[in-house]
Amino acid sequence: MTTHELTTHFPVEQDHLRRLHVRLEREAQAGNLLDIAYRTVDSAVGPLLLAATPRGMLRLAFANENHDSVLQNLAERVSPRVLEAPTRLDPIVRQLDEYFAGRRHNFDVALDWSLS
């Protein structure tokens, strides 16, 4: 049964799902079980997928790339422990926002070179 079919047969409040996801994210971080955190953000150049490990920024994917395929590739090449965990990427998102607003010209972001 798909997620859509499950939620159709067993309705779940979106707020409840959000709280569960936040708890999962927090516990995965605390248990050192989260190798790749990702999130998507809207930007001046379209939707961006950001992925990071504890070492730093791992991958940025543009709108013309299939984000699901990018995540699958990261799971295969780096680690299958991938989770949408926006808080790990908050500092990077702030710097991107500043860049697109014209207030930043350089980035101060740790990089993970695992894919290089």
Domain locations in the chain as residue ranges: 3-100
The four Cα atoms 15, 18, 22, 25 give a dihedral, to 10 degrees, of 160
- In CATH terms, 3-100 corresponds, of 3.40.50, 3.30.160, 3.90.1200, 1.10.540, to 3.30.160
Specify the DSSP class assigned to residue 57.
E
Q: Residue 27 corresponds to which tokens in the numbers above?
A: 């516990």
Structure confidence by residue, pLDDT tens digits, 16-67: 566 665 666 666 566 666 799 999 999 999 999 999 999 999 999 999 999 9
DSSP 10: S
Q: Report pLDDT for 17.
A: 62
> What is the tens place of the pLDDT at every residue in 54-90?
999 999 999 999 999 999 999 999 999 998 888 889 9
Rounded to two decimals, the pTM is 0.74
